[in-house]
Each structure stands twice: as C-alpha cells, then as structure tokens.
Amino acid sequence: MDQTQITQTFNQQLPGAVVEEQSKFLVIKKESLLAAAKILKDSELAFQHLHSVTAVDRKDKIEVVYHIYTYKYRFMLTLKVYLPMTDLTIESLAHLWQSANWLERETYDLFGVKFLNHPDLRRILNPDVWTDYPLRKDFNRPDFYRLPQTEGLKAA
Amino acid sequence: MAVEPKNQKYPGEKFIQNFGTGELIMTKAEDLFNWAKGSSIWPLTFGLSCCAIEMMATGASKFDIDRLGSGVFRASPRQCDVMIVAGTICVKMGECMKKLYAQMPEPKYVIAMGNCAIGGGIFYHDTYSVVQGTEQLGIPVDVHVVGCPPRPEGLMHGILQLKKKIQERGQQKVDLPEKFVMPENALGLMQEQLKIAEQSIKNGTPRPTIEQDQPGHCQNIQPKKPDGSDPDNPNI
C-alpha cells in the first residue's frame, strides 16, 4: 500500500479534498477534513490509530499535522491542513479517535489552534492564566527568559 | 577480645564526659533532642523529573537511604520533615510546591537536588516555563546538592550535611514569608474546609475554587490581579 491509493480513494469519494500531494504527505482542504478522516477510519483502509497531532508555524500560515496509522496495511499517513493566521479554527477529531483529545489540547496550548466541537478544550501543560502561545514564532517574553547572546555567549 | 580504638568517633560523643570513675552524659535537653532529631529526617514523596529517579535509586536496596533514618517517604506533607526538590520546577508546579511547603509542619527543611532545583540548570537560557531555582519561589533551601543529576552518594551526602546542620546548630530561626508559616489554628482551618466540602457534596453545589478554599493567612495563592498577571511571579 502506498499514498497514491489513498489519493485515489479521496478522488473517488471526496473530489477536491486533496489540495496538494507531496511524496511524504497529503494536504487536505480545511472544510473536508472531518469527512476525509471518517473515510480513512471507516473504509477498508482502517486507519485505527492517531499517532500525533501537532502544528508548524510558517509565519504566514499554521500547518496542523496528523499522523495516522493502519494496522491492516502497516502504513503511516501524514495529513496536513493549512490554516491562515487570520482564522485558526479547525474541526476536532476527538470523537473519531479518543487520543486526539489530549493531543489537540496540547496543540491548542502551544500554538493557539482552536478545535471546534472539542469536548474539553483547555490548556493542558501551561498555566491557565497565560494568554499567549509559546511555540509560535512571534512568541516573545523577554522579561522571563534570557538568551545566551545577551550574556556574551555564542553557540559553538 | 575486641579492643575499641581510642579515637573512635561515634554519635553523641560530645555529650559524654569522663570522670575518674566512669562516663556520664551531661547536656541540655535541647541539645539532646536536636541530636535525636537529626537521625530521623522523613522526606516527602515528591519527584519532579529525572533527579527523582536518582532519589528512588537512593531509596532502593543498593544504596539504602534507610541507613540514615530517611527511608520513610511520606505521602502527605503534614507528616514529613524535609522536602527533597528533585528536578526541574515548572511554573505550574511551582504553585503546587509552595502549597506543599506551606503544609509541612515546622521545623521544615529543604534539599535542592540537582542543578535545575538550584538555579535552572540546563534550562537557564531560552526557556519560557522553568522557574530558575527553588529560592525564586521564596522557599529557603538548607542544602544544595549539585549534579545533573547527582549520584545517590551525592544525595546521601546532602542528607548527612542536613543531619549535621540540625545536630550542631539546632532549630534555627528562619524568616519565613508569612504564607509559609503554619497558622496556630491549622487544625480548625482544616475542619472548616472539610465542612465546606461536605456541605457542597450534600447540596450538589460546586466545590469552592482553590482561591476560596484557603481561608485565613494560610492563603498562599493570592487573588489574581484584574489584568490577569500573577502577583507571585510578576514576570509571567
């Protein structure tokens, strides 16, 4: 099994869902994420396991990355969804894969991506009173942390 | 027949005075109690990160912390004498640590184990969530044990140093911040909290939040400022 088979499935059942296809990952349209996830889980592809949910800050957009695994074909698929910085909301997958619950909370905590219809979207690791998101590129808290450069140190 | 060496050091040696006809213990009761106190320092079951693994190894059979009288890891801060801060202190955990320290009965001691607990360690630069050492929280530290993490021998040396400190200097007056001093009516406060909890369970009303749950000057979590900043950690 390889990725082209999944792309074909999408093209048949959900035309227009795949925005971009790379050798290592598929990019899904934001609106059709839920439908695509349902197809992947419930069809004979049987992607039963959600490994990880995380995100990458590209400054102009945020990529939400899903790794899902099928035990039947022993294949791991990487799904990506591009979110514009003006609208950081995406549908939650927590009712399809239970493991998405905490993983999405972590992504919300560190990147500020809001997952719609999540059962319990709170910060998971950082204090509840924080209002910013530490893994964003524009995150800055100069009164809290010091950089080596400010003390005259250089990377070796 | 075994012959005891002349210069043998043994605990309590300084109390024994030689007379012509024999030996006699002459001391103040306070000194005697201090001498006894040092041999039974119960730590709190409290591990934060990788130093806790070394702490567990120290408690296990190969190193055996029991030989020093510190083998009884208590699960409640109200029953222990020393808090071994074993690991990296995150901002969120710092609040819990303050609460645990305030709940310990006096006299109370703190061992900062490992570089993170001493001053941030490898999280000294470029971090957003690590407290730069135990003292940043306002908790006074008695013994620092360096290492990343320290060997069990290091922790045992730290405990021995603490023992020496207690036995030689007794109970020192430490200027604790008010929030870390156990109030006189501590038992009454606990019963009050229990009563509130019982009533809320009976009536089905929600439990009071942590801020409301700390009456009197046991209040170690101050009310949040309206702008959302934390008065304990002004930097955050």
B145 and B190 belong to one structural domain: no
Q: Which residues of B touch A143 (CB under 8 A)?
A: 235
B75 and B158 belong to one structural domain: yes
In a domain, residue B21? The reply is no
Contact across the interface for A148 and B125, Cβ inside 8 Å = yes
Q: Which residues of B touch A127 (CB under 8 A)?
A: 91-92, 95, 230, 236
B92 and B164 belong to one structural domain: yes
B131 and B72 belong to one structural domain: yes
Contact across the interface for B228 and A129, Cβ inside 8 Å = yes
In a domain, residue B109? The reply is yes
Residue B106's nearest CA partner among B53, B183, B213 is B183
B120 and B80 belong to one structural domain: yes
B107 and B214 belong to one structural domain: no
pLDDT tens for each residue of B105-157: 888 899 999 999 998 889 888 788 888 899 988 899 999 999 999 999 999 99
Band (pLDDT 50/70/90 cuts) for residue A145 is low
C-beta of residue B117 within 8 angstroms of C-beta of residue B85: yes
Contact across the interface for B230 and A139, Cβ inside 8 Å = no
Range of the domain at B54: 50-169
The Cβ-side half-sphere exposure at B69, using a 13 Å CA radius, reads 14
Contact across the interface for A145 and B126, Cβ inside 8 Å = yes
Q: Which residues of A touch B128 (CB under 8 A)?
A: 134, 139, 141, 144-145
Band (pLDDT 50/70/90 cuts) for residue B210 is low
In a domain, residue B152? The reply is yes
Alpha-carbon Rg for chain A in angstroms = 18
CA distance B129 to chain A (A): 8
In a domain, residue B42? The reply is no
In a domain, residue B231? The reply is no
Residue B151 makes CB contacts below 8 A (sequence gap 6+) with B54
Residue A47: is its pLDDT beyond 50?
Answer: yes
B189 and B165 belong to one structural domain: no
Residue A141: is its pLDDT beyond 50?
Answer: yes
In a domain, residue B3? The reply is no
What is the set of domains in chain A, with CATH numbers? 3-151 (3.30.460.80)
B62 and B115 belong to one structural domain: yes
In a domain, residue B154? The reply is yes
B101 and B200 belong to one structural domain: no
B79 and B117 belong to one structural domain: yes
B187 and B114 belong to one structural domain: no
Backbone region of residue B228 per phi and psi (left: phi > 0; alpha: psi in -120 to 50; beta: other values)? left
Whichever domain contains B105, its CATH number is 3.40.50.12280
Q: Which residues of B touch A130 (CB under 8 A)?
A: 236
pLDDT tens for each residue of B25-73: 777 888 888 888 888 899 999 899 999 999 999 999 999 999 998 989 9
Contact across the interface for A147 and B236, Cβ inside 8 Å = no
In a domain, residue B38? The reply is no
Q: How many domains does one find in chain B?
A: 2
B163 and B200 belong to one structural domain: no
